[in-house]
Structure 1
Amino acid sequence: MTETERANARLVDHRSATVSPLLLVTRLGRWAQGEGTLAERLAHGIASLVRSGELRAGDRLPAERALAAAVSVSRGTVVAAYGILSENGVVERRQGSGTVVAGTLLRLSGSGTAHRGEALFSALPSSIDLLRSVPQMPDLAVGIVRAHDPEPDLVLLSETDPAGLPVLRERIARRFAAEGTPTTLEQILVTHGAQSAFHLLVGEVVSPGDVVLTEEVTWPGFSDAVRRRGGILQGIPMGPDGIDVMMLEEAMARLRPVLVAINPHHHNPTGLRLPSSDRLRIAELAAEYGVPVLEDRVLAPISFDGVVPPTLAALRPDAPILVTDSVSKWAWSGLRIGWLRADPVLVRRLRGARQIVDMFTSVPAQLLALDFLDRADELRREVSERHAGRLELLRGLLAEHLPEWEYRPPRGGLSLWARLPSGSAEEVIARAAMRGVAVAGSDAFAATASNDDHIRLPFTAPDSSLEEGLRRLGEAWRELG
């Protein structure tokens, strides 16, 4: 077995929760080095795997003789090691069931608090708000709102289906199909924006102690929902184009997540766009492991070069791919209409969950969303062209006021992810606040540990706010030396 095969092999059989003795030895590494007896060191190594989340409550450890043979020690050493783990409450010795990991999952280190997203709504009324990436409403959208005059169909206006108006669900399904992802009405759930879809989905599939994988920096509205639910969020490192797919596969094998959530197209906050080969591999991993993958496409259509990749669901129709989208970024942020594309069975379950959360989505809002969907291509093109120009304005301001800051120009989306050459992002944010500018940095978007070396700069604010905000930010940076 090669090193790559060992890394991607499954330590625990998902069906029987049985730990492989040979793979356990691989995961333990150089466990015999260090202080203490062999039994103490072996117990410490196994306990470390429990703390990291690789071994979870209910997993059945190898039989004493099998593990002794695998690690080349006496059976007595393994018996003693299991005894130490039992005394410390890490495992339970069950008659007829062997030795199993005890209790509830220990939290992964760096899982953080459940309110990171709060920082994005904390600007003072007197501050220049560079926190939120709320796009400027297209002129076409303004015209559509003014001209909106729905037919007074009393049957339609009294519709209260928690899944959404059938006519809107059908229209959304047709748009998916036109873009290369065959979809039926039964696969669509209409929600109060994409954030509501995140909340409903997390509440349905994540239980306390469950592992959820996402990018190492991600939208805090999703990470907060997982943490509030009691889930364990684990961030996967990112490369120059997005999430590291090899490390994602390794984490899927080791940590057995209940959900993977990614933002592969104009990622918020980094602006990265995942290559086609990596998108295909993620879809294949979803099919191989049977783990649902949630694809956030809210920013996908805001593309400066006209490239809008297909959904992951289009690449592997047999994979458990969930897709969320909304009209917020390309039509009107004030119209809280989003949707989730999922298996019809899951849609029915979430439809039931809505009945105890918010009942159903506003019918007038859904009717207006129909008008937006009729002009979706034009709206998306206008938003993309306008914000491509705003990106160039921001880049010019960075060259003038913050030439030392490094960034990779995004090919779409609404913000730029700038890296500081030195120092702390939190220090810059604090100093900027003293000058009346509100910005967010690494910590607000970190899934796990933060390097505290990036700041997100949306290019959605009015010209005057963007120009004055960058000028003051430059002054704050120079004050820090």
Structure 2
Amino acid sequence: MAHAWIPQQWDSARVAMTALDASEVCRLLGGWTTGSATLTDDLVTALVELIDAGLVPAGALLPPQRRLASALLVSRGTVTSAYECLEARGYLATSRGSGSRVRSARSQLHGRPSGRLFSFTSAPADVIDLSTGALPASPVAADVLARPRAELTAYLATDGYFPAGLPVLRQAIADQYTRDGLPTRPQQILVTSGAQQATWLAVTSLAGSGDLVLTEEPTYRGVLEVLRSTDARAEGIPLAGGGLDVEQVRHASSRRPQALFCQTAIHNPTGRSMTDGSRAELATLINDVGLPTIEDTCSADLTLAGAPVARTLAGLVDPELLVTVGSTSKLFWGGVRIGWIRASETRVHGLIELRKAVDLASSVADQLVAVELIARTDVARHQRRTMLTEALAATESELRCAYPDWHWNPIDGGSGLWVDTGQDAVALAERGKRAGVRVAAGPSFSTYDGQRTFLRLPVWHEPTMLRAGLTALSS
């Protein structure tokens, strides 16, 4: 299964404490019913596959039978029989009062799963995937990728390893920041293999096992995976008026968090932007308390009105406290696996050393493509804005027609809507799977498995496909 880069780390004490929520298991199971066997047999087969693949790690505590049955829309007896079968086959150890734990020694991955990466697999032809906001390639990307890479020849005589990134790409990224009004030197840039790796590096450099990290509630699914893999403690700070509640951050800072992760430009999943006043207030707080901050700006280019790129904390926060994550994925295409970190030169040096321990360098070919793409940033921003503005209007029209009781706030940018369905979105997602529709329920964006009535729906799908998916979801 192709997916974003995430290192998996073994920690037997942590694994032993892993408790999976019913909504997590639902996401991991995907379309588990076959129609050719009993529900119990299908559930056993699906859980065995997850355990053998290591996606449900040894030592993990499965959800209580009643909760899983409710989430899967089956009887409790179905789950009870499945658990009993798994115990008889040696996959579970069940004790009264303690629940059922996975005892398989065949697990190869040992982290707490989120199910997010299933969003990036190719859905079968008969499945409508409304679970990810990842965009198709922009016209700029299609044009650049169709060209031969003659400039690659110059690098063939080298070993191909550039841990900090190709100098020409570091310069291109720095120049784009400068054009956007943020003077930047190439020495402040570290090129990574996508934004997920950049996020992992940033978090790992600041927080370790048991450390407190503040983030928004809801927040980007990828950072929750990173925090779980590093065993940091995530505390969600509620949003207020489109951005972090600064007073809540101030209150939480008394508990001495190691870092703050935020998205003040275009927030994923809500599509909202922090107001300039609130952003300045947050920056002042960060500077006053000396709070190291990771800002994800990957969606900053996807504005729907006003400036072509949304404002961020850069320029407001002490450079020694701020780590900015960027990527080519949203503006150009996720198939070009290039991300980056903008930080102080001192921090970049440390991040390079951390990066070399797990990944020697990013693809030279992808980096050369990124140089060409970044040179056409202005064109790509215009293309994305036009596409998303038209798609958003069509999507909202389809939603109002299909579900007049659903509600959402107007968005400032991004590729998705954060929709309050007013019902159990986990159960809705489970019904969708059986109808051949994938949707992303709110708990996968939550630090505490909350946001249970919300769905994140992409806005870019062709209206006929979206209409078919929404119709199937209601059946």
The alpha-carbon distance between structure 1 residues 263 and 446, as it changes in their structure 2 partners (threshold 3 A), is same
Q: Which residue of 2 aligns with 1:215?
A: 216
The corresponding residue for 1:172 is 173
Question: In 1, Cα distance between the equivalents of 2:180 and 2:252?
Answer: 31
Residue in 1 aligned with 2:201? 200
Task: Quickly say closer, same or farther: Cα 1:389–1:161, change in 2 above 3 A.
Answer: same
Match of 2:5 in 1: none
Q: 1:457, CA displacement in angstroms?
A: 0.5
CA contact (8 A) 2:133 2:459 kept: yes
| CA RMSD, Structure 1 to Structure 2 (Å) | 1.9
Query: Hey, what does 1:458 align to over in structure 2?
Result: 458
**Taking structure 2 as the reference length, what is the TM-score of the superposition?**
0.73
> Is residue 300–residue 311 contact of structure 2 (8 Å, CA) maintained in 1?
no
User: Post-superposition shift, 1:123?
Assistant: 7.8
SS of the residue corresponding to residue 315 of structure 2 reads helix
Q: How does 1:138-287 map to 2 (within 5 A)?
A: 138-151=138-151, 152-154=153-155, 158-253=159-254, 255-287=255-287
- 8 Å contact from structure 1 (residues 120, 131) kept in 2: yes
Distance in 1 between residues matched to 2:204 and 2:320, nearest whole Å = 21
Equivalent residue letter for 1:178: R
Q: Secondary structure at the match of 2:248?
A: helix
Is the contact made by 1:195 and 1:221 (CA closer than 8 Å) also made in structure 2? yes
Gap regions ≥5 residues in structure 1: 1-111, 477-481
Inter-partner Cα distance in structure 2 for 1:221 and 1:215: 13
Task: Report if the CA contact (8 A) 1:265-1:297 is conserved.
Answer: yes
Residue 300 of structure 1 and its aligned partner are, at CA, apart by 0.8
2:119 is aligned to: 120
Question: Is the CA contact (8 Å cut-off) linking 2:320 and 2:347 kept in structure 1?
Answer: no
Amino acid at match of 2:356: Q
In the alignment, is residue 393 of structure 1 matched against residue 398 of structure 2?
no
Q: Distance in 2 between matches of 1:236 and 1:184?
A: 33
Paired AA for residue 440 in structure 2: A
1:439 is aligned to 2:422: no
Residues 116 and 220, structure 1, Cα contact 8 Å, conserved in 2: no
Separation in structure 2 between the aligned mates of residue 463 and residue 312 of structure 1, nearest angstrom? 36
**Distance in structure 1 (CA, Å) of the matches to 2:454 and 2:195:** 25
- For 2:294, the aligned partner's letter is L
Q: 1:371 to 1:124 in 2, by over 3 A?
A: closer
Partner of 2:472: 472
Q: For the residues of structure 1 that align with 2:418 and 2:206, how far apart are their CA atoms?
A: 31
Q: Give the AA of the match of 1:224.
A: E
How far, CA to CA, are the matches of 1:406 and 1:306 in structure 2? 25
Partners in 2 of 1:451 and 1:392 — Cα distance? 25
Structure 1 distance, partners of 2:413, 2:470, is 21
Aligned in 2, Cα 1:199/1:156: closer, same or farther, shift over 3 Å?
A: farther
Instruction: Answer yes or no: is the 8 Å Cα contact 2:320–2:344 preserved in 1.
Output: no
CA contact (8 A) 1:263 1:295 kept: yes
TM-aligned CA deviation for residue 201 of structure 1: 1.7
Please name the residue that 1:334 is paired with: 335
Unaligned runs of 5+ in 2: 1-110
Q: Could you say which residue in structure 2 is the equivalent of 1:297?
A: 297
Aligned AA (1:453): T
Identity %: 32
Q: Match for residue 356 of structure 1?
A: 357
Aligned to 2:357, what secondary structure does the other structure show? coil
Which SS does the other structure have where 1:316 is aligned? coil
Correspondence for 1:130: 130
Offset of residue 270 of structure 1: 0.7
The answer to whether the 8 Å contact 1:191/1:339 transfers is: yes
> How far did residue 124 of structure 1 move?
5.1
Q: CA 1:156/1:195 → structure 2, altered by over 3 Å: closer, same or farther?
A: farther
Q: State how far apart, in whole Å, the 1-side matches of 2:141 and 2:122 are.
A: 27
List, as ranges, runs of 4+ consecutive aligned residues in structure 1 with deviation greater than 6 Å: none
Q: TM-score, normalised by structure 1?
A: 0.72
Is the CA contact (8 Å cut-off) linking 1:210 and 1:258 kept in structure 2?
A: yes
Give the stretch that moved more between structures: 171-180 or 396-405: 171-180
Match of 1:96 in 2: none
Once residues 311 and 239 of structure 2 are traced to their aligned partners in structure 1, the CA distance between those partners, rounded to angstroms, is 21
Compared CA separation, residues 412 and 261, structure 1 to 2 (3 A): same
Residues 441, 452 of structure 1: 8 Å contact kept = yes
| 1:402 alignment partner in structure 2 | 403
> Measured at CA, do residues 345 and 468 of structure 1 come closer, stay the same or move farther in structure 2, by a change above 3 Å?
same
Range that drifts further, 309-318 or 354-363: 309-318
Which structure would you say has the larger Rg? 1
